[in-house]
Structure 1
Amino acid sequence: MTKYTVAVTDYGFPDLHQEEDVLLPMGFEFVTGQCKTADEVMQLTRHADAILIERAPITKEVIENLERCKIIVRYGVGVDSVDIQAAKERNIPVVNVPDYGTGEVADHAMSLLLSSVRKIPQIVSQVRRGVWQTTPCRPIMGLQGKMLGIAGFGHIGKDVAKRAQSFGIQTIAYDPYVPENVCNELNTEKVDWHTLLERSDMISVHLPLTPETKHLFHDEAFERMKSTAYLVNTSRGGVIRTESLIDALQTNKIAGAALDVLEEQPIPMSSPLLQFDNCFITSHCAWYSESSLNRLQRHAALEIKRIFSGERPKYVVNGVEV
């Protein structure tokens, strides 16, 4: 007999077997959709005991419409699609899954960084056109002794620091919420924002999207960066002001950029970013491997299992006491 209902508002996974393995034995029934609007979410979730979301908007109106919801779980790290304050006012914990793909994102960030600096896409394109040069796309910067600035020194930022140092790269970090001794333990100097911009030969971004970080990379930030510097973003697209990045690439304020996330996704085919040889873009896939996909689905379901088993979820992001 069904005891609970979990509403899965939207998902891009092949199936929900991982979630079902965890929750069906507890008496959960699944209702699923591919909601894109708040109205669609409201219709699906009104009577749900728990909600799983990928990208669907969980607005204040959605939350006020909920009749018996005990938990909202986001597949992934960022929760900017959820009105977490409205959920807090209703005493509904909002939970994310920050530990499912840390290694994958760090690997992808380093892959983008290395490809940018070594100009791999440009060289591959030349070879395909029949251009064979042993010193192609000059100049190419050597990595040893160069400085990587890490914007956001959480789990992923720390993993990127470890990977970068194995290439002989020095690391500095900007993160007002991480103590200096934590940075020092990873042979990374903690610096302020302007110092990060001015000293870095490369910058890797690992920041959540908040009112404080939105458009943190704007015109002034690019003015402060070295003209030889590269920018990599695997966090949230809104941290970079798109128009400012386009201008920085057009006017050679920076040497190049590699992005897995953008303000508008998918990227419009008319975007100037697609026309720059020194800018390349992947499809918000840094998180993905088959193993991380399985972890994401299972860990999200386990958070629901915890709260309905009388335990506290591991990753409550809106301060609700459970």
Structure 2
Amino acid sequence: MIGAGMTGTPVVVTDCDHATLDPEQAVLAPAGIGFRREQCHTAADVISRSAGARVLINQYAPITAEVLDALPTVELVVRYGVGVDNVDVEAATRRGVWVANVPDYGTDEVADHALALALALLRGVTVYDRSVRAGGWEYQDARPLRRLSELTFGVVGCGAIGQAVAARAAAFGPRVVGADVLDGRPPGPIERVELAELLAVSDVISLHATLDANSRGLIGEQALAACKPTAVVVNTARGGLVDTTALLAALDAGAIAGAALDVLDPEPPDAATREGLARHPRVILTPHAAWYSEESFVQLKTEVAREAVRVCQGGPPRSPVNRPAQKSSEVAR
């Protein structure tokens, strides 16, 4: 059941930029679980439009402690995607609320996209394209280009996506180094190094870290100053990992050679961000599309609905990011 403005529906989609919710309905309807779609932008929107919900399926709207206090029936917040930086996970944990994501829906797609962006920079694809369209026909227009097997490919954040990127990059023959290897042992072709060393030696810096208070602005003025002037930055993780002002300054000063960004902060970009990045001849931009294929789209939507079913039927989610306290009206606020 989809019904805007109704209260007491077990599952509420707080916000979503997808054209259809047919995959979600295909999972929820056979389980007898009603849901409705809202378009919330603020915490106040979520509170006013989600009364009685047991599950919030969420994309961008903020899920704060205030939201959770106002919606005591909520048992699960599940995000369309991997990152949960717009959800107060600590507050949810204290209040006995599960937080879940879909960590594996677009691993191949993001890895493929990251390599595509890196290769476009390393082989001068967009530079050549612009030159030819403008009437040019000179290989010198994108000089200097380097043999890929002579380069060092750095992966920041070596979870599932980072490992998939490393495996793809290794096929071209470069040295592959990685920082933030979470399991303590470098997987596959990754040579473990500290971040400072990775920045100093890498020709490609591909970002796959989670965004939190410690990683926000990770690639800022200091990090960019440590890079080779021939290095390029690729970000398919979270826009907040990169200080855009510092990045543009580094590009203008020739401190780095290029950047390819699938994610920005904010999204969509504001006028200043759009103008600064879009004007730059050594920047490639894509619209937070790295995750996308028709297959990953359906998988994402199906899995968030399955998580909702699991919790509505009394079980835990498949992919929780927290271990909540016991749900109780007496949980300390």
Q: TM-score by structure 2 length?
A: 0.92
Q: Aligned partners of 1:210 and 1:103: how far apart in 2?
A: 24
Deviation at 1:213, TM superposition (A): 0.5
Q: Aligned partners of 1:90 and 1:27: how far apart in 2?
A: 27
Matched-pair contact (CA < 8 Å) for 1:19–1:298 = yes
Q: Aligned partners of 1:310 and 1:291: how far apart in 2?
A: 29
Comparing 127-136 and 88-97, the one that deviates more = 127-136
The equivalent of 1:151 in structure 2 is 156
1:87-131: CA deviation from partner (whole Å, max 9, x where unpaired): 111100000111100000000000000001111111111111111
- Is 1:161–2:163 an aligned residue pair? no
1:111-158: CA deviation from partner (whole Å, max 9, x where unpaired): 000001111111111111111124432111221131101000000000
The equivalent of 2:249 in structure 1 is 247
Q: Please give the residue correspondences for 1:194-233 in structure 2 after superposition, counting only pairs within 5 Å.
A: 194-233=196-235
Match of 1:174 among 174, 179, 182: 179
Matched-pair contact (CA < 8 Å) for 2:199–2:223 = yes
The equivalent of 2:329 in structure 1 is none
Q: Aligned partners of 2:312 and 2:42: how far apart in 1?
A: 28
Deviation at 1:230, TM superposition (A): 0.6
Match of 2:145 among 140, 143, 157: 140
The equivalent of 2:129 in structure 1 is 124
Moved over 6 A (4+): none
Match of 1:100 among 67, 81, 105: 105
Q: Aligned partners of 1:283 and 1:98: how far apart in 2?
A: 20
Deviation at 1:176, TM superposition (A): 5.2
Q: Aligned partners of 1:173 and 1:320: how far apart in 2?
A: 32
Unaligned runs of 5+ in 2: 3-7, 327-333
Deviation at 1:318, TM superposition (A): 2.1
SS at match of 1:52: strand
Q: Aligned partners of 2:46 and 2:9: how far apart in 1?
A: 18
Q: Aligned partners of 1:96 and 1:321: how far apart in 2?
A: 18
The equivalent of 2:25 in structure 1 is 20
Deviation at 1:269, TM superposition (A): 4.0
Say how many residue pairs are matched: 319
- Is 1:39–2:44 an aligned residue pair? yes
- Is 1:77–2:82 an aligned residue pair? yes
The equivalent of 1:313 in structure 2 is 317
Identical residues among aligned pairs (%): 39
Matched-pair contact (CA < 8 Å) for 1:4–1:27 = no
Question: RMSD of aligned C-alpha atoms?
Answer: 1.7
Structure 1 residue identity aligned to 2:252: Q
Matched-pair contact (CA < 8 Å) for 1:31–1:44 = no
Q: Aligned partners of 1:24 and 1:66: how far apart in 2?
A: 24
1:154-201: CA deviation from partner (whole Å, max 9, x where unpaired): 000000011001111220000053312xx1x41211111101101111
Deviation at 1:283, TM superposition (A): 0.6
Structure 2 residue identity aligned to 1:249: L
1:207-230: CA deviation from partner (whole Å, max 9, x where unpaired): 111111011111110111001101
Matched-pair contact (CA < 8 Å) for 2:108–2:161 = yes
1:276-318: CA deviation from partner (whole Å, max 9, x where unpaired): 1111111111111111000000011111122233332121112
The equivalent of 1:294 in structure 2 is 298
Q: Aligned partners of 2:300 and 2:314: how far apart in 1?
A: 22
Structure 2 residue identity aligned to 1:210: D
